[in-house]
Structure 1
Amino acid sequence: MKRLLAFIIIVVVSVGVVAGTSNWLFNDVKLGLDLKGGFEILYEAQPIEPGGKVTKDSLIETAKSLEARANATGVAEPEVTTEGTNRIRVKIAGVSDEAKVRDILKKPAELTFRSSDGCAADKGYCKVELRGSDFKQNGADVQQTNLGQYEITIKLKSAKQFADVTEKIAKLAPNNQLAIYLDETLLSAPNVNGKIDSTDASITGNFTRDEANNLKNTINLGSLPLKLTEKYTQSVGATLGKLSLQETLFAGAIGTVLILLFMMIFYRLPGIIASFSIIVYIWLLLLGFNLIGATLTLPGIAAFILGIGMAVDANIIMAERIKEEMRSGKSIMSSQKAGSKHSFRTIIDAHVTTAIAALVLFFIGVGSVKGFAVILLLSIVISILTNVFFSRLLLSLIIRSGMIKKKSLFGVKESEVRAL
């Protein structure tokens, strides 16, 4: 009786949670540009300064700058990733003025040091005193003082130029700040307390380690601004993206319903439990999808549906093994134990081999291929939890409750049972 009660409680709670939160999960999914409409650009980065070199840090900082610029245009959650040693891929969904956004993105990031010399009170730091090209490439670094504070050390190309600028700004006290801007974003405004007749200087303040590193990277990016060249571009209209989503979801829904009907008709009780486990699996996959902040694309939906197929396979393997044990003359409980045990290794082996393939795609692939691999890996983990352990738990509880006494409920005819 306790096992039957536990079975009922698990089923009722699962149904309630799935039914109560499914609408929120579906509405919270972020759609990619192939489903929502938008554009994708692959940039190749090259140094503007002759003899310059594209470094990993400069590429990452340029990507951050692109993301900040895209956010400033009002677009929702742009996806900006680096690829290889000199490429940046930008994906932006739901854009109304594509030409304007692309024009903003392709400009090199501009680092400037500004003062308030000769500026009106409401203009702030309007005069550009130094530019990123006035600094030595990769000359900025972070050091920790004896007091445990972080400071940024910088190296300039001309000591005389820096001496002239700092001497002038020091005389502007209390407005003696040399403000640091990336494009039009104020990053920091350190005070200049006197003339600095050197190519070396330091920026002090109450920086955290991350803040100091971010400022260092930004200055290094500004000393080596990168020119971005479009190597590939793709645009998807909003109407076409919406149509693709509707057709894909419709086809996936029909396929899933047919699979669940097949399981319930052909495998009877194990099929019903498997169908319930698959529904929980789909819900958990959507939950995991939202928790990791993934963006849903057509390849992602393909991995999603492929995962459902793998989940069905796991349940079929276990159900067939149980039927084989019953046909050999064993009791229902003994058949369930033996069938679950013998099918476990086969199911795990299948999932492990698929996971290896997904890992290869993740580490070697780029863009949508990597997204496909992420969803496939997530589906493998959730499939093992739901369609191996969860379905086995439910089947074990209902059998041990003593309510199931006929082998026909497992799709096994009495004439097929062999005597021991």
Structure 2
Amino acid sequence: MNKGEERVDKKNIHRKSVIKLIAITLSIALVGYILFYGITVGVYNIGNIGKSINYGLDLTGGVNVVLEAQSTDADPVTSEKIDSSILTIRQRIDSIGVSEPTITKQGDNRIRVSIPSVSDQEEALNLIGKTAQLEFLGPDDSVILTGKDVIDSKGVMQTDNSGVEKAVVTLKFSEEGTKLFADATQKYQGQIIKIKLDDEVISSPTVNVVITSGEAVIEGMKDIDEAGNLASLIRGGALPVKLEPVEIRTIGPTLGQNSLSESIFAGIIGISLVLIFMLVVYRGLGFLADLALLIYIIIVLTIMTALNVTLTLPGIAGLILTVGMAVDANVIIFSRIQEEARSGKSLLTSIDVGFARAFGTILDSNVTTLIAGFVLFFLGSGSVQGFAVTLILGILVSMFTAIVITKRLIKILVKTGLFNNNAFYGL
């Protein structure tokens, strides 16, 4: 290749790099705008992260339910039964995606459940209020088996003999339940076996064949959501005691009506100061670190929305903390690049060596924090788990943006050939 061809080739590389850098910057601005403000395309509303994220009780309030255990002489209420009921209620709420409920024992026979404001709040309340005492009854109303004999249940779409797809609930019995159900279907062939949930008969199928597989199906569901909710009730098992709701009321944010806006404002101020600091101290490298940081924020918020994470004030604190950790990783990397540049290496070589040497330090510091985050998640509950989730998620994404995205952006900027002065890069 002669010198003329080399110059043409370099110009093409410079031009492509400039186009890439402009495209990346504009893409970040566009995605950020859609994420925070949303756009409407036809009948679809896209974006607006503020309306998509679930917020905890401390930021937006929710619904408070007090359940009272009904005691009888034959079935007295005990502390163990209340504790077991709390575990069952938590399992039911978690099964429909409502995160971070507050469930506490109140006195000797009451349970208080506080649920963050979510779109499926009514279904959650319905699940809490029901006792899920499932029974299979013979034609003479004798009990064949109960919910304790069911080991699994799912809401699925199933095609019947006529080719029509409909929502059903599948049941899988325990070994003892399989035997009881087989004996019952043999005994009651051609007759009806009623399936009763609490005091309501929800299905009355006719026995056509002897069922020995240990599986059954509940039909008559309105849609897949109803089937899924019933399956969640059955999987959760019957509550040890019958619970009656004695209080249901809406509660406001535990930190006040302005807590959410003030928290978001504080976060914006903190992140803005970090962006300005990086730009002033590291100049061109700082500008690229800021772009990577904006990408980090977009990725984290998108993942939180996709995973249906509930954001609480401790969660916001964890998110802002990981922003600082992401910047800290960039500071370590840039310091290494500066050391290599001072030793006389070229800019591209300094970047490669600097990132390689900084990787071990960044990995070690983040792994130790990840361990603490996992401990908080598995041993904590409520808002402590919320903090742990945002911390773990933020650390993983910040490592990716600092090590992969920042490096890629720096190389693209260098290849543009627009800024070959080391001073521009803070070197």
Amino acid at match of 1:257: S
Q: Which runs of 5+ in 2 are unaligned?
A: 1-13, 38-47, 105-109, 153-169, 220-226
Selected match of 2:380 from 362, 365, 373? 365
Which residue of structure 2 lines up, in the alignment, with residue 374 of structure 1? 389
Q: CA deviation at 1:32?
A: 1.2
Return the offset for 1:114: 7.0
In structure 1, the partner of 2:286 is 271
The residue correspondences of 1:30-179 to structure 2 (distance < 5 A) are 30-38=54-62, 49=75, 62-63=89-90, 77=98, 90-94=113-117, 105=128, 108-111=131-134, 129=141, 138-140=148-150, 152=173, 177-179=192-194
State how far apart, in whole Å, the 1-side matches of 2:393 and 2:215 are.
45
Match of 1:221 in 2: 237
**CA distance in 2: counterparts of 1:44 and 1:332, whole angstroms:** 70
Structure 1 residue 251: deviation in Å?
1.0
Describe the SS at the equivalent of 1:180.
strand
Q: 1:334 aligns with which of 322, 326, 349?
A: 349
Instruction: Give the superposition deviation at 1:256.
Output: 0.8
For the pair 1:22 / 2:36, whether they are aligned, the reply is: yes
Asked if 1:243 corresponds to 2:266, the answer is: no
Following superposition, the deviation at residue 43 of structure 1 comes to 8.8
Q: Per the alignment, do residues 46 and 391 of structure 1 end up closer, same or farther by CA in structure 2, a change over 3 Å counting?
A: farther
Secondary structure of 1:408's aligned partner? helix
Q: Are 1:409 and 2:417 counterparts?
A: no
- Give the match for residue 392 of structure 1: 407
| Matched position secondary structure for 1:242 | coil
Give the C-alpha shift of residue 332 in structure 1. Answer: 2.4
Query: 1:13 aligned to 2:44?
Result: no
Percent identity of equivalent pairs: 34
Of 265, 268, 289, which aligns to 2:304? 289
TM norm structure 2 = 0.66
Q: Residues 278, 203 of structure 1: CA spacing in aligned structure 2 closer, same or farther, 3 A cutoff?
A: closer
For residues 135-172 of structure 1, the C-alpha deviation after alignment (integer angstroms, 9 at most, x for no partner) is 57944568xxxxxx97747979xx9xx99xx99x99xx
How far did 1:111 drift? 3.7
1:215-259 C-alpha deviation (Å, 9 max, x unpaired): 79839934x6335699xxx99524844311111111111111111
Partner of 1:417: none
Closer, same or farther: CA 59–267 of 1 in aligned 2, 3 Å: same
State the partner residue of 2:5.
none
Q: Is the 8 A contact 1:45 1:59 kept in 2?
A: no
Partners of 1:201 and 1:410 in 2: how far apart? 71
Identify if the C-alpha distance between structure 1 residues 185 and 28 changes in structure 2 by more than 3 Å, giving closer, same or farther.
farther
Which secondary structure does the structure 1 equivalent of 2:192 belong to? coil
What secondary structure sits across from 1:404 in the alignment? coil
- SS of aligned partner of 1:92: strand
Q: Matched residues in 1 for 2:232 and 2:300: separation?
A: 40
Decide whether aligned partners of structure 1 residues 295 and 283 sit closer, same or farther in structure 2, where only a CA change above 3 A counts. same
How many corresponding residue pairs? 360
Go from structure 1 to structure 2 and tell me whether the alpha carbon gap of 1:335 and 1:64 turns closer, same or farther (over 3 Å shift).
closer
Bigger mean CA offset, 321-330 vs 241-250: 321-330
Partner in structure 1 of residue 366 of structure 2:
351
- Which of 181-190 and 332-341 deviates more? 181-190
1:46–1:262 distance in 2 versus 1, CA, 3 Å: farther
Maintained 8 Å contact 2:52/2:305: yes
Deviation by residue 1:288-308 (Cα, 9 ceiling, x = unmatched): 000111111111111111111
Using a 3 Å threshold, how does the CA distance of structure 1 residues 192 and 102 change in structure 2: closer, same or farther? closer
| Matched position secondary structure for 1:403 | coil
Please tell me whether the aligned partners of residues 92 and 236 of structure 2 are also in contact (alpha carbons under 8 angstroms).
no
Deviations 1:69-88 (A, max 9, x none): xx9xxxx95766999xxx99
Query: Residues 103 and 399 from structure 1, CA distance in 2 versus in 1: closer, same or farther, beyond 3 angstroms?
Result: closer
The one-letter code of the counterpart of 1:380 is: I
Is 1:257 the counterpart of 2:281 in the alignment?
Answer: no
SS at match of 2:34: helix
